[in-house]
Structure 1
Amino acid sequence: MKTTVRYTRTAVAVLAALSLAGCGGAGEAGDASGSPAGVSSSTAQAAGPVSVETDYGTVEVPQDPQTVVVLNYALAGYLYDLDIPVTATIPEDTEAEGEHSEFWAEEAEDDGTVYLPWSADGFDLEAILTLEPDLIIGGGIGFPLFQAEEAYEDLSAIAPTLLVGRELTSWQDQFSFLAGAFGKGDLYEEHVQAYEERETEVREAITPPEGEVAFLSLTADGTPYGLVEDVGLPTTFADLGFEVAPVFADGGFEVYGPGGDMFELSTEKVGQVMTQETLFIAGFNAETTSVEDLRENPVYAALPAFQDNQAQELPYWSIRGDYDEALALLDQIEELYG
């Protein structure tokens, strides 16, 4: 197991300074104002970074970044959609090998995107520093958000760090925030229009099942998590006319971790609260289970959705899907209920 090297803010600042040692001064590449050679001060200023207000303070975001590090795999797709090059990201899970998503593999190959080491102890700051990024993007939902908040000062000492805050839980919120930071609101609106047109098509083509629906995700070790009904995936189904059960709202559960979209259940508790007519099952960060596998467990087999063959599998990426995954999910729902 790799030991993650962690630094204080001061140590990172020192390393950053050392990494720049020997570089030419501003006078070698431009005039006294710091403008590039052959570019006027006003032009350089127009092409310079833009101040973006975030939950963590004001960030000077370069508008044409060349070395971008994305510290949440689930956010990388937005950058590719916005034509922002991604130099490096992290795997979907800690201590895992990085693998390109089927939705942006071609773009990642074109960019030469690499994967940084990532452990439960935190991001590998030394590996990030080695890349000399001009922008770091992090946050989002779940553990990467928690770690980015913890390391925010250290990351900011390496490069401007733009975090997608915890209140931005839908793909629309996250995509809009990032598009705005790069002045690409028009491109975002084009994507949203395409999604809404497809959503309307699917809504008119499907017949949702009768009764309430609920959602479960299972980790590789079989631990079940319910999905909070007013965040993320369940809201997509609600928008399409499904009756989403208020399992979280009525159950007195606590949200698991900083993500705000899941709550942990015991297997016994699953038998008590997942009694809805339809149950959607998905793995977490991988295809960790299947309906047929769960039928081998008497608790799951006794659930009404399993008894009536209304337990449906969803791809694991649907839980915290980005724009492209949300669009692909509409196809899956149409196939199930069209």
Structure 2
Amino acid sequence: MTSRRSLVLFALPLTLLTLAVPAFAREVTHVMGVTTVPDQPLRVVALTNEATEDLLALGITPVGAVRSANANPWFDHVAAQLAETEVVGEELAPNLELILSLEPDLILGNKKRHEKIYEQLSAIAPTVYVENITGQWRDNLAFYAEALGKSAEGEAVLQAYQDRVAAMKAALGDRVGEKVGLIRFIAGQNYAYNNDSFSGSILRDIGFGRPAAQDKPGLAEPIGPERIPELESDRLLHFSYEVGDGGATKEAQTWMASPLWQSLQAVKTAHVYGVSDTVWATAGGVMAAHLALDDIEKIYEIESTR
């Protein structure tokens, strides 16, 4: 059966594309191919939480963006700036009709999330993708800046982050050699986060060591309570993805009451810290990276490098 969405997306695109070809345009090479985009796109739609906050960091408010994960509708750290932005569905299920209605001149997506709808999005407006959302967030930011014609601004944003990391390293001194572990609680399955996760990349940038079981490539891996000793570290950060039923909180409470958890050196020295899941796992962009650095400053009681 042909839906109204199908009719809209197949009846209008040729006209839209004909009208949307800008007088000044350039080609952008990305993971899905080569796309002609406007030199200065004004109506941008972001299909990931990462792209949304990176746009804001580059001085662009998207006309449309997918709802912030597990938020209503936006993460606290971006809500004020997105007051006029239209919610265009979920990161894993963008609403194509809403996107079409916004008449965007550029769409930023992600192959891992949106590969199957690339042709439909491209029929609405020039669409460019990054490959994934993990510890490669710096590369993704640089790509978004290029697609927006704001490479210089992107370089400045990344340099500000790198300068701050350098200042933190200096302030930490010998403590930068400490091992820092990461555990994420989710109802039904918990995860240890490795070096290629967003949170792992922040720790790696600073220069911290990692527990041996987490000091390896990859995003994350499931971890059961019998593997709690693998979390042995100088400092241990934990965050919970809570969907409202309290399951993640119960997981954390159960683990923290166990003898294996209580035997960890970080627990014995009171070096275990609960941090925001939004900041350390879900948001994924440069604004969240700075918030993660804020947490490190508080944990290590060093002067702000903002």
Q: State the TM-score, normalized to the length of structure 2.
A: 0.80
Alignment match of 2:293 (pick from 307, 326, 330)? 330
SS at match of 2:113: helix
Whole-Å separation in 1 of the counterparts to 2:2 and 2:239 = 34
Distance in 2 between the 1:234 and 1:204 partners? 20
Residue of structure 2 in register with 1:29 after alignment? none
Query: How far apart, in 2, do the equivalents of 1:59 and 1:15 lie?
Result: 22
1:137 to partner: Cα distance: 1.0
1:172-204 Cα deviation digits (max 9, x unpaired): 211111111122121122222322222222212
Tell me how far 1:54 sits from its aligned partner.
0.6
Q: Deviations 1:145-198 (Å, cap 9, x if unpaired)?
A: 533112222222222211112387333211111111122121122222322222
Counterpart residue number, 1:212: 179
Partner of 1:101: 75
Structure 2 residue aligned with 1:128? 99
Partner of 2:166: helix, strand, or coil? Answer: helix
Contact 1:205 1:334 in 2 (8 A): no
Q: Which residue of 2 aligns with 1:267?
A: 225
Match of 1:83 among 23, 47, 59: 59
Aligned-residue CA RMSD (Å)? 3.6
Match of 2:153 among 187, 191, 200: 187
1:172 aligns with: 138
CA contact (8 A) 2:66 2:90 kept: yes
237, 242, 246: which is aligned to 1:280? Answer: 237
1:325 shift after superposition: 1.9
Q: What secondary structure sits across from 2:104 in the alignment?
A: coil
Structure 2 segments unaligned to the other structure (5+ residues): none
SS of residue paired to 2:72: coil
Q: Determine the C-alpha separation between the residues in 2 that align with 1:204 and 1:19.
A: 57
TM-score normalised to structure 1 length: 0.73
Report the number of matched residues: 293
| Partner Cα distance (2:226, 2:190) in 1 | 10
Aligned-partner residue type, residue 226 of structure 2:
E
1:308 maps onto 2:269 in alignment = yes
Q: Which residue of 2 aligns with 1:160?
A: 126
Counterpart position of 1:318: 280
The residue aligned with 1:142 is none
% same residue? 24
Q: Which amino acid aligns with 1:159?
A: A
From the CA coordinates, give the structure whose radius of gyration is larger.
1
Q: Partners in 2 of 1:21 and 1:248 — Cα distance? A: 49
Give secondary structure in 2 for the equivalent of 1:151: helix
Q: Verify the 8 A CA contact 1:68 1:137 in the aligned structure 2.
A: yes
Which of 73, 81, 95 is equivalent to 2:49?
A: 73
Matches of 2:43 and 2:180, distance apart in 1: 43
Q: Distance in 1 between matches of 2:289 and 2:256?
A: 28
AA aligned to 1:213 is: V
- Extract structure 1 runs of 4+ deviating beyond 6 A: 5-8, 20-23
